[in-house]
Copies of this chain bind each other. A is one copy, B any other.
Amino acid sequence: MATIPITVAKGDGIGPEIMDATLTILKEAGAPLEIEEIAIGEAVYKAGHTSGIEPSAWESLRRTKVFLKAPITTPQGGGYKSLNVTVRKTLGLYANVRPCVSYHPFIQTKHPVMNVVIVRENEEDLYAGIEHRQTDEVYQCLKLISRPGCEKICHYAFDYARLNNRKKVTCFTKDNIMKLTDGLFHKVFDEVAAKYPDIENEHWIVDIGAAKLADTPENFDVIVMPNLYGDVLSDVAAQIAGSVGLAGSANIGPTAAMFEAIHGSAPRRAGQNLANPSGLLLGSILMLVHIGEAEMAERVHNAWLRTIEDGVHTYDIYDESVSKEKVGTKEFAQAVVARL
C-alpha cells in the first residue's frame, strides 16, 4: 500500500504525550502514513528562531503539505511571533474549521443537542500582525479585511455545508460599527449565499449572535466569521459542548493543510500521563478525511466514540455521574485501540 507523507510536530507541554497517543492509535488503525518529524516551539524559539520553527522545517511542510501539529508554549516576553499565525499565513491556510459537538449523555454538558461547525477566516483581521506604537501612551493595531479573503472563506463555508449535508450557514459580524471592514465581510457573505440557494443563510451582529450561540447552540449549524470572533467563539462553542479539550481543528489552504487540537500546551499537566489526547486525535481524524482516507477516519472516530460512550475518561472530563473509569493518556489511547 502506498504511504502518504505527513509532517508531525510534538510541541511542548502535554504535546508529546497527546501526539504519541494519537500516532499510536493511527498506527494501530493501519493509517498509511509516513511520518516526518520537525521541531517547533519553546526550544526553537529560545534557539533564536523568532517564529518558533526551524527554517529547515518549511522544506518538509512544503513537500508533504499536511501538518499534524501538537500545541506549543510560546516563551513570555517580547520578540516572539506566534507560530500558529506564522504557519497559517506562510502556507495560506485561510480556513480554520472547528466542529463543536456535544456527546450527551456521555460527557457532561448543559447543551445536549449541539453540533456546530465554526468556519473561521484564518489570515486577515487583527491577526494580520500590523501593530505599532504611536507614542509612548498610544498603540494601534490594524484590522484588515479584503474582498478576496471574504470570498474565499464564505465560499468555503457554503461548500463545506453542501458537502457535509448541513442546512444553514450563519454569518457573524459587527457591521453596525465597522461598516467598511465587517461591512465588506457581510456584503460578500450575502453575495456568496445567493449562489447556494439550497442552503439557508442568516446574519447576526456578533454580540447578540454570540449570546444566542452560548445560550441555544442547537439553533446553529455552520457559522462563518472573521478571524478574531472565530478565535473567541470557537473556544466558547467547544467548551459549552463539553470541553475545549475535545475539539480538533483543520486549517485549510489551497495547497496545504494543518491539523491540531484547539486547546493549548497546558505545561502544568505535562509529563504526568494525565492529558486528554481527544482534541488532537479528532484533529487527526479531520486529517484522514483530508488525505482521502474517509473510511479509516470513520473507523477511528467510531472507536474513539465508543471509548467515550463506555465511560473511559481522562481526568478533565471525568464526572462521577457518567464516567466509569478514570484513565491516563496512554490508557485512553489503548482503550481506543482496543475498540478499533
Contact present for B238 and A177 (CB under 8 Å): no
Return the contact of A131 from the options B179, B208, B215, B244 (Cβ within 8 A). B179
A229 CA / B232 CA spacing, docked (Å): 9
- The answer to whether A178 has its CB under 8 Å from any CB of chain B is yes
**How far, in Å, is A206 (CB) from chain B's closest CB?**
6
Chain B residue contacts of A239, Cβ below 8 A: 211-212, 214-215
Q: Say yes or no for A137: interface residue by CB 8 A criterion.
A: yes
Closest chain B residue to A78, Cβ basis: B179
Check: A85 CB closer than 8 A to any chain B CB: yes
Alpha-carbon gap, A147 to B133, bound state (A): 11
Contacts of A181 in B (CB 8 A): 131, 139-141
| Given A140-B142, A148-B137, CB of A206 within 8 Å of CB of B180 | no
A148 to B139, CA, bound (A): 11
Q: Inside 8 A of A138's CB, which chain B residues have their CB?
A: 144-147
Give the A interface residue count (CB, 8 A). 56
Closest B residue to A185 by beta carbon equals B139
Please indicate the chain B residues that have their CB under 8 angstroms from the CB of A111 in the complex.
110
Q: In the assembly, what is the distance between CA of A211 and CA of B8, in Å? A: 28
Copies in the complex: 2
Contact B235 A126 (CB under 8 A): no
**B145, A139: Cβ atoms under 8 Å?**
yes
Q: What's the least CB distance linking A285 to chain B, in Å?
A: 22
- Chain B residues contacting A133 (CB-CB under 8 Å) are 180
Task: Produce 1/0 per residue, A186-227, CB < 8 A to B.
Answer: 000000000000000000001110111011000000000000
Within A258-314, which residues are at the interface with B (CB < 8 Å)? 264
In the complex, chain A residues 116-136 whose Cβ is within 8 Å of any chain B Cβ: 126-127, 129, 131-133, 136
Q: Among B85, B145, B207, point to the contact of A232 (Cβ < 8 A).
A: B207
A214 in complex: contacting residue of B143, B214, B231, CB < 8 Å: B214
- Contact residues in B for A178 (Cβ distance below 8 Å): 126, 131, 141
Q: Which residues of chain B come closer than 8 Å to A137, judged between CB atoms? A: 146-148
Q: Cα distance A212–B183 when bound, in Å?
A: 30
Least Cβ distance of A322 to chain B in Å?
17
**Which chain B residues border A233 with CB–CB below 8 Å?**
210
Tell me how far the C-beta of A318 lies from the nearest C-beta in chain B, rounded to whole angstroms.
16
Question: Distance in Å from the Cβ of A192 to the closest Cβ of chain B?
Answer: 15
Beyond the given pairs A140-B145, A236-B236, 4 more chain A to chain B contacts, judged by CB atoms under 8 angstroms and listed by A's residue number, are A139-B183, A143-B143, A208-B235, A208-B244
